[in-house]
């Protein structure tokens, strides 16, 4: 028994643990997601995060220990943001043809999402660092972290808000669009990419290729717009 | 070899982006400058196949990449216990506002989206991607 405890203590402290646990949780959550017909509530990111968070709490493993392994996955977010150039390039014809409309929708959607988050948080009396961490929430996590830091938020909290925003979009957007009678996959995809970035876009991609392509386009536009405008707006 | 070349290209763009952000004081995050650099590089046909080979799998599994950050929620349980409900209200409502505003603006300004968009998707998407995606839909 004590040999087993020692082995566990050793293994849970190596980077191997965080990396393996993350992949295992995600692969299992994805299998279940497939099994239930890709129902939005079964979102694999949601259940991976919940199960890993429970595991860390129950096994009393500190987040930095977990992150020493998970960082290898986290690292890929940077190159993934650069890789967004590819869907933008692929959609350049649509973008050029409809640049005005798409930019306007991206700008208004981004301002509405960020503005209402900040407004609500402020009205509800949340502390100023939390409010500043909410502002870049519709931008993909790695960029949100950098932006939050620039405008006086807490980067780690901004990243969590960003992931939660992605999950809210991925889980509830279908219902909202059905209520508003938004049927066109291109519009659904573009809206989900604007308001709930990568996690939402991944969901859109699985549901419909057209929606996925527009979600990727919207997500990259949102990164550019927020990176350009947010520091300027924060100064006002 | 192609995915490896493409991945190297992504990392080079990101590195140059970080250099530009830190040394030249460009007011954008490094990866975003990298995105713009890569967009300019894609004008050059030789980089397209390697970049596609690296970018497609990376973006296909994009949601996995958010898991480590999401688990970071355990570090903030204190703040969440204190302000959780209010933060949840702000997050959920603002996400719906963002989704609804974007979708309604597009619906008003681009009423033909449902009918014409599919055609240009089929023209610009590589054939295998459309086939694979159609398979997925069933």
Distance from CA of A115 to the nearest CA of B (A): 8
Does residue A196 contact residue A166 with C-beta atoms inside 8 Å?
yes
The confidence score (pLDDT) of residue B132 equals 41
What Cα–Cα distance (Å) separates residue A98 from each residue in A61, A109, A135, A215, B120? Answer: 50, 16, 27, 15, 12
Residue whose pair of structure tokens reads 């407004």 in the numeric block = A119
Q: Give the nearest chain A residue to B55 (CA atoms).
A: A83
Closest CA to A203 of A161, A179, A182, A173: A173
Is residue B125 predicted with pLDDT exceeding 90?
no
Residue A133 backbone dihedrals phi, psi, to 5 degrees: -75, -20
Is residue B13 predicted with pLDDT exceeding 90?
yes
DSSP designation for A40: G
Across the range A141-168, mean pLDDT stands at: 84
Residue bearing the bigger pLDDT, B130 or A164:
A164
Distance from CA of B25 to the nearest CA of A (A): 13
Indicate which of A31, A52, A82, A164 best probes the interface with B, i.e. most B CBs within 10 Å of its own CB.
Answer: A82
Is residue B130 predicted with pLDDT exceeding 90?
no
Residue bearing the bigger pLDDT, A132 or A213:
A132
Helix (H, G, I), strand (E, B) or coil at A151: coil
Across the range B66-92, mean pLDDT stands at: 87
Across the range A170-178, mean pLDDT stands at: 89
CA distance A194 to A10: 43
Reported as a pLDDT band with limits 50, 70 and 90, residue A182 is confident
What Cα–Cα distance (Å) separates residue B77 from each residue in A154, B72, B82, B84? Answer: 14, 9, 8, 9
pLDDT above 90 as % of chain B: 38
Average pLDDT of every residue of chain A: 86
The confidence score (pLDDT) of residue B116 equals 56
> Tens digits of per-residue pLDDT, B86-102?
889 999 999 999 999 99
Residue whose pair of structure tokens reads 């965080």 in the numeric block = A18
Q: Which of A45, A125, A218 comes nearest B66 by C-beta? A: A45
Reported as a pLDDT band with limits 50, 70 and 90, residue A236 is low
Q: Which of B29, B58, B97 comes nearest A79 by C-beta? A: B58
Question: Do the chains contact at B95 and A169, CB–CB below 8 Å?
Answer: yes
Question: Do the chains contact at B87 and A26, CB–CB below 8 Å?
Answer: no
Distance from CA of B77 to the nearest CA of A (A): 11
Domain boundaries along the sequence of chain A: 2-75, 81-235
Q: Give the nearest chain B residue to A106 (CA atoms).
A: B102
Helix (H, G, I), strand (E, B) or coil at A115: helix
Q: Which of A121, A185, A188 comes nearest B90 by C-beta? A: A121
Identify each DSSP E strand in chain A by its residue range: none
CA distance A212 to A215: 5
The confidence score (pLDDT) of residue B15 equals 95
**CA A98 centroid distance within chain:** 26
pLDDT above 70 as % of chain B: 82
ipTM: 0.83
Across the range A200-224, mean pLDDT stands at: 82
Reported as a pLDDT band with limits 50, 70 and 90, residue A79 is very high
Is residue B135 predicted with pLDDT exceeding 60?
no
Reported as a pLDDT band with limits 50, 70 and 90, residue B119 is very low
Entry pTM: 0.81
Reported as a pLDDT band with limits 50, 70 and 90, residue A36 is very high
Across the range A114-140, mean pLDDT stands at: 88
First to last CA, chain B: 32
DSSP codes of every residue in chain B? -HHHHHHHHHHHHHHHHHHHHHHS--SS-HHHHHHHHHHHHTTSGGGHHHHHHHHHHHHHTGGGGGHHHHHGGGGGHHHHHHHHHHHHHHHHHHHHHHHHHHHHHHHHH-TTHHHHHHHHHHHHS-HHHHHHHHHHH-
Is residue A25 predicted with pLDDT exceeding 70?
yes
CA distance B45 to B56: 17
Q: Give the nearest chain A residue to B39 (CA atoms).
A: A85
CA distance B62 to B55: 10
Across the range A130-135, mean pLDDT stands at: 88
Reported as a pLDDT band with limits 50, 70 and 90, residue B118 is very low
Across the range B32-57, mean pLDDT stands at: 92
Residue B132 backbone dihedrals phi, psi, to 5 degrees: -60, -45
Structure tokens at A43: 């979102």
């Amino acid at each position: 028994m004590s040999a087993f405890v020692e082995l566990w203590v050793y293994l849970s402290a190596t980077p191997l643990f965080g990396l393996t646990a993350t992949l295992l949780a995600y692969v299992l959550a994805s299998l279940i997601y497939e099994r239930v017909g890709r129902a939005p509530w079964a979102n694999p990111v949601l259940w991976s995060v919940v199960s890993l968070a429970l595991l860390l709490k129950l096994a009393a493993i500190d987040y930095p220990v977990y992150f020493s392994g998970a960082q290898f996955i986290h690292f890929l977010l940077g190159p993934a943001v650069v890789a967004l150039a590819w869907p933008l390039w692929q959609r350049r014809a649509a973008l050029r043809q409809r640049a005005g409309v798409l930019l306007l929708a991206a700008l208004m959607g981004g301002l509405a999402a960020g503005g209402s988050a900040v407004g609500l948080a402020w009205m509800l009396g949340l502390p100023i660092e939390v409010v500043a961490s909410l502002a870049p929430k519709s931008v993909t996590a790695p960029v949100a972290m950098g932006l939050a830091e620039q405008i006086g938020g807490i980067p780690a909290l901004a990243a969590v808000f960003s992931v939660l925003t992605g999950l809210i979009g991925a889980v509830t957007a279908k219902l909202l669009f059905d209520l508003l009678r938004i049927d066109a996959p291109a519009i659904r995809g573009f809206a989900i990419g604007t308001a709930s970035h990568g996690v939402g876009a991944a969901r859109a991609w699985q549901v419909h290729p057209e929606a996925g392509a527009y979600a990727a386009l919207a997500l990259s536009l949102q990164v550019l717009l927020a990176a350009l405008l947010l520091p300027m707006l924060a100064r006002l | 070899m192609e995915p490896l070349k493409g991945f190297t290209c992504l990392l080079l763009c990101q590195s140059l982006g970080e250099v530009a952000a830190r040394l030249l004081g460009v007011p954008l995050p490094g990866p975003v400058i990298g995105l713009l650099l890569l967009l300019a590089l894609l004008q050059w046909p030789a980089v397209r196949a390697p970049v596609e080979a690296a970018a497609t799998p990376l973006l296909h599994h994009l949601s996995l990449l958010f898991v480590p950050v999401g688990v970071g929620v355990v570090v903030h349980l204190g703040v969440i216990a204190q302000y959780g409900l209010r933060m949840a209200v702000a997050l959920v409502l603002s996400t719906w506002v963002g989704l609804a505003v974007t979708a309604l603006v597009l619906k008003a300004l681009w009423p033909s989206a449902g009918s014409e968009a599919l055609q240009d998707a089929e023209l610009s998407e590589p054939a295998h991607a459309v086939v694979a995606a159609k398979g997925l839909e069933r």
